Amino acid sequence: MESTSLELSQFAEDVIGGLSSTPKHLSSRYFYDDEGSRLFMEIMKLPEYYLTRAEMKIFTEQKDAICEAFSEGAGAVDLIELGAGDGTKTAVLIEHLLSKGVDFTYHPIDISQEANDALSSRFHEKFPALRIEPHTGDYFQVLGSLCNNNGRRKVVMFLGSNIGNFLRESAVAFFRDLRKVLSEDDRLFIGFDMQKDPRTIVAAYDDAQGVTSAFNLNLLRRINRELGGDFDLDKFSHYAQYRPMECAARSFLISREKQTVTIKAINRSFDFYQWEPIFMEISQKYTHAMIDELSRDGGFEIAREFFNEKDFYIDSLWRPI
């Protein structure tokens, strides 16, 4: 996917802001160019990346209860998925909703055109009866256009513990914004990765095959390609840590040596000292109390929770209050 000029200027601005800050940071929002989306799909298949399998297990084992909760008391449903990716897990729910004869339309929203195209063609083939309306763009730009009062219940899904990539204040702001465009009969269905053995968590963000490393480094490649940067990827290495007191995993790219990187499109150079980190992404983990507090602060209440036997991962269904 090539960026539009508006997106590109926002990208350039965010790169300037991030690399001029102390400590340096880059926004994980920009991970998902076509190569980033492809690498993320590889990450989901890694033995260390337990999140996808945990959520898949919940959907497979509890699809009946989940689909019932989505549709009970509603005439027709708009199933809206934020950052749908390859939709593998959602396919389980879609198949079940179709088999139960629920009247629904699926609206996958993704910033990656490639991810959306791949998902649409796969779902058209797999579910010929499915009404699917893919939207390419940023969650909120697209969500605004969907939030008409058309009398259909909106079930907004945000899976894969994507919410964990938001700092707490941003997560609350995100839920409040969502609350504004939802009405009382609508629902929000969110995947939360729970606090667990720190070793299990850190391995998920530092896999043995180095796919997560390639995923992070790909953002430097994107800056080189789209903004004329001269990052030498061999001079940076991926590092992941988990801090149990904060329930947060963080990933960094570490400058292996003292160096200067120039980005032509913005006519700027950035100095790095040896071992200087660029903060790339947070992956917040949760306790029940944290989820409870987030829902209230965001303007929702928990209607129902679906979790696996170990309380390893939770899909939480929220109702606006």
Query: Where do contacts with ligand SAM occur on this chain (CB under 6 A)?
Result: 29, 32, 37, 40, 44, 52, 83-85, 109-112, 115, 138-139, 159-160, 162
111 vs 247 by CB, closer to ligand SAM? 111
3-state secondary structure of 153: strand
- Considering the complex, what minimum distance in angstroms separates the CB of residue 85 from ligand SAM? 3
- Considering the complex, what minimum distance in angstroms separates the CB of residue 101 from ligand SAM? 26
- Considering the complex, what minimum distance in angstroms separates the CB of residue 33 from ligand SAM? 9
Residue 252 — φ and ψ, nearest 5°? -135, 155
213 vs 255 by CB, closer to ligand SAM? 213
71 vs 161 by CB, closer to ligand SAM? 161
Query: For residues 236 and 143, what is the distance between their CA atoms, to the nearest angstrom?
Result: 37
- Considering the complex, what minimum distance in angstroms separates the CB of residue 212 from ligand SAM? 12
Please, is 124 exposed, middle or buried when counting C-beta atoms within 10 Å of its C-beta (0-12, 13-18, 19+)?
exposed
44 vs 132 by CB, closer to ligand SAM? 44
Please, is 130 exposed, middle or buried when counting C-beta atoms within 10 Å of its C-beta (0-12, 13-18, 19+)?
middle
- Considering the complex, what minimum distance in angstroms separates the CB of residue 293 from ligand SAM? 23
3-state secondary structure of 90: helix
119 vs 182 by CB, closer to ligand SAM? 119
Residues 6 or more apart whose Cβ sits within 8 Å of residue 220: 229, 231, 233, 236, 253
